[in-house]
Structure 1
Amino acid sequence: MARQHKAEVMIAGEQLRLRLHDGKLIKERRYHLRTYPNCFVAQELIDWLVSHKEAPDRATAVRLMQHLMDHEIVHHVCDKRQLFKDAKLLYRFRKDDGTFPFNTEVKIFMRGQRLYEHLIGEKNSILQLREEHGVAYQRSFPGCQLIDWLLQNGEAESRCGGLDLCRALQEHGIIQHVLKKHDFFDSGLLYQFCINFRRRRRLSQLLHESEQDNDEGVVPSTQEDNHHDSPFVLRKNPPQETTNAFQSVASNKELKQVTSGRRGSLNSLQLHSAGFPPPVQLSSTSALKCNPQSVLHRTFTCEELMAPGGPFIKRVLTVIGDALGWGFVVRGIAPCYVQAVDPGSPAAAAGVKVRQFVYQVNGQCVLHLDHRTVSRLVMTGPRTVVLEVMEPLI
């Protein structure tokens, strides 16, 4: 479906953005006496795509980047050009300059990705190998168990709210009934996530899927999704496997290499997380290497923040999360700070701003904790989060 292809484009674009940050192709650049942060030169990027075999030739690479432009993943720094040119022009990812369109569809997508990452990262996940009518469905779950999980983890305030969320996820192509026969019900019917968020997307394949989508109205399954290790393939369950436990994606060496250190802001805490992120980075050990440039004008130590008479003021903010999350991203290691805020989120309404340092979360001092720990405290706590932040006086 076209909606699923759009989701694939979003994930592929985010994976590319993180790789480019890691490779230092995205950085601050000057043009006509003006400085543009987090930019890349189109010509350099085309060179990179071809040399890394993401595209067979420069023409295909340009078509690929135009595809990302059409889906509002990247844009010209001044939004004066609608076409992507293989030239010395500056472009940016919209996730890097805050212009990414966080509409309802994107927020639902990011919420789904955050839930997927949280579920798959649990030791006793509800995503398990389950059998129905002699067919095994990997990483499937009964609808009632997902709603139970949402309630236990503060993702829904009531069973009715959890049901509404799950139906929204199904409507946007994030989860589905294993046989695609039923809507979502609070029952024992089996469902699966339709998207493997951790699978590495091949950029060149986006063009092929787009053409198939236009010609046939459907998106064909990728080679990876048809692999016997895919969580979405349906197969007869061999007798010797009837009692096998669910195998986490982390046990797959290929997937582990792809995801290690690259599960960035798309699933970060989160922009309605979340996530293109999400809310928190659950397990990446080297995520900071892939993150965009810090929004801080300069770094501060915990001692500087707490020094008497320092240029900071404390504020207490109450953020009441909605069905899509809280709407902000934290980064940094002791102290952590607000890197981004979704303009239409509960965080923005509560007064959370970029460059604020997080001092307390629900009464617990977090000044000496890193962003992953702070994010986890928010995600695993109540939906109403009381933040004490420190912000510059000027």
Structure 2
Amino acid sequence: MMLNQGETPEPAKTDETPEPAKTDETPADDVGEEDRVELLSSSLQESAEDFQRLTEIRLTGEQLRLRLHNSKLIRDRCQQTLTYPNCFVAKDVVDWLIEHKEATDRENAIKIMQKLLESKVFHHVCDEHPDFKDEKLFYRFRNDDGTLSPSKQMRVVVRSQRIYEKIVAEEDCILKVWEQGTERYRRTIQGSQLLDWMLKNHEIPTRKDGELLCRSMVECGIIQPVRGCHHFSDSDLLYRFAINFRRKRKLVEVLGDISPYKERQQDSPDSPFCLRKLSAELPNNSFACADEPSPSPPSPVPKRSSQGGTGSYQPLKKEPMSPPSVLKRPVTVEELTAPGAPFMMKILHIMGDDVGWGFVVRGKGPCYVQAVDPGGPASIAGVKIRQFVKSINGLDCLYLHYRSIYKHIVAGPRALIVEVLEPLDDSLVPT
């Protein structure tokens, strides 16, 4: 009996047998996140590229539609006894494209419009002409008559655009610069952080729903991993928006053959309502207003993913990106309003277009114009650098921080009535 009891360790040895199995599994912990996620099939990659290309064309067409509305080229027209609402004349649009340097000649303009027509951006009012013709024919954008039936993919695009607009409008944007080794990735976000943001902002009911939405966004070419060709993962892997919904698009782009999905070019900086042409002198993250340079905040610590990994990506410290002030020295409100002060008040009327208003303001009260887009609405209205913002649409702005002015403009109408105080001499011009 004692010997039998002494033999009992044999089953214990069998209980210990899983230990070698554990050691066999340990190398899996050393496998990178990218090796454990689902890879995109070649067919899904091709489908994403094709749909991303179509989305870019339709976004270009939508920007053209808004510009033609602003130019009064889209309106109700009569022919014989019939009235055709919200349509444009093909010949007039060709003239407009050449005049606005969106096309080199009439042949180039026809090719651009034909591409938009083939992409179902607009159509002939009676659907009698499948080809675009440089004649006095009536065409209408499908977004003006509701004939573009939204597919599942287009619904994903609309939802993604709303999410993108919300993200980039936040003061502390979650799209940041990250680095891995010697590689740096601009305007990126971890998959787990994107889901956290969606839940916090009530864009999704559950994390699982968010993961399904993000997978659809990858399949539509809206977001993509910064490295490799894998599917969306609720992890520390980095993703970026492959489509910049705010970018001003040139119409000639619709004729290009290069796939932005393959090229993965860096996004241009966003500007919600100011600069339409961004120059090197402006900060990479410039909005309508620019703050004074501030010390770099500490880098955020990468958080563990929901799958238990600790990703190896490290966010870079945010560097001061603001350009130097156009003022030689700070100016106080008292200086601006003192009797006999060398400033002249002007009232300017700015009508924003589909891209924005075309100026940047800076400061903490009083605020001043830091940059103006040549040829933009603000420039046409007479806005100049070093002008001080006195009021906008009746709101006294002399003591307002630039963020308050920003919120006031974006929440109001497209038409701005701006009172500015313009210096009468060059005493504020830096030497």
TM range (shorter): 0.5 to 0.7
The RMSD of aligned alpha carbons is 3.2
Alignment partner, residue 244 of structure 1: 318
Contact 1:128 1:246 in 2 (8 A): no
Is the aligned partner of 1:166 residue 2:258? no
If you compute each CA radius of gyration, which structure gives the higher value, 1 or 2?
Answer: 2
1:66-85 mapped onto 2 (5 Å cutoff): 66-85=114-133
Which TM-score applies when normalising by structure 2?
0.52
Matched, 1:19 2:111: no
Q: 1:261 to 1:29 in 2, by over 3 A?
A: same
Partner of 2:155 in structure 1? 107
From 101, 115, 127, the equivalent of 1:53 is 101
Q: Residues 231-380 of structure 1 correspond to what in structure 2 (within 5 A)?
A: 242-244=316-318, 261-262=353-354
CA contact (8 A) 2:242 2:261 kept: no
Is contact 1:55–1:204 with CA below 8 Å preserved after alignment?
Answer: yes
1:283-309 deviations in Å (ceiling 9; x for gaps): xxx9xxxxxxxxxxxxxxxxxxxxxxx
Are residue 180 (structure 1) and residue 180 (structure 2) matched?
no
Mark the CA change 1:66 to 1:126 in structure 2 (over 3 Å): closer, same or farther.
same
Matches within 5 A, 1:108-127: 108-127=156-175
Looking at structure 2, the residues matched to 220 and 38 of structure 1 have their Cα atoms a distance apart, in angstroms, of 37
The answer to whether the 8 Å contact 2:77/2:87 transfers is yes
Is residue 248–residue 355 contact of structure 2 (8 Å, CA) maintained in 1? no
What is the number of equivalent residue pairs in this alignment?
244
SS of residue matched to 2:230 = coil
Matches within 5 A, 1:126-205: 126-205=174-253
- How far is the alpha carbon of 1:223 from its aligned partner? 9.6
TM-score, normalised via structure 1 length? 0.56
User: 1: distance between equivalents of 2:199 and 2:116?
Assistant: 37
Structure 2: stretches of 5+ with no match in the other structure: 1-48, 270-278, 286-314, 323-351, 357-376, 378-409, 413-431
Render the CA deviation track for 1:84-122: whole Å, top value 9, x for unaligned. Answer: 110001000000011113111111112111111110001
Deviation beyond 3 Å, 4+ runs, structure 1: 217-231, 245-248
Report the alpha carbon displacement of residue 222 of structure 1 after superposing the two structures with TM: 7.1
CA distance in 2, matches of 1:186, 1:132: 19
Question: Could you tell me which residue of structure 2 aligns to residue 257 of structure 1?
Answer: none
Higher RCO, 1 vs 2 (CA within 8 Å, ≥6 residues apart): 1
Residue type of the partner of 1:105?
Answer: Q
- Shift in CA distance, 221/128, structure 1 to aligned 2, threshold 3 Å: closer
Q: Is the 8 A contact 1:139 1:246 kept in 2?
A: no
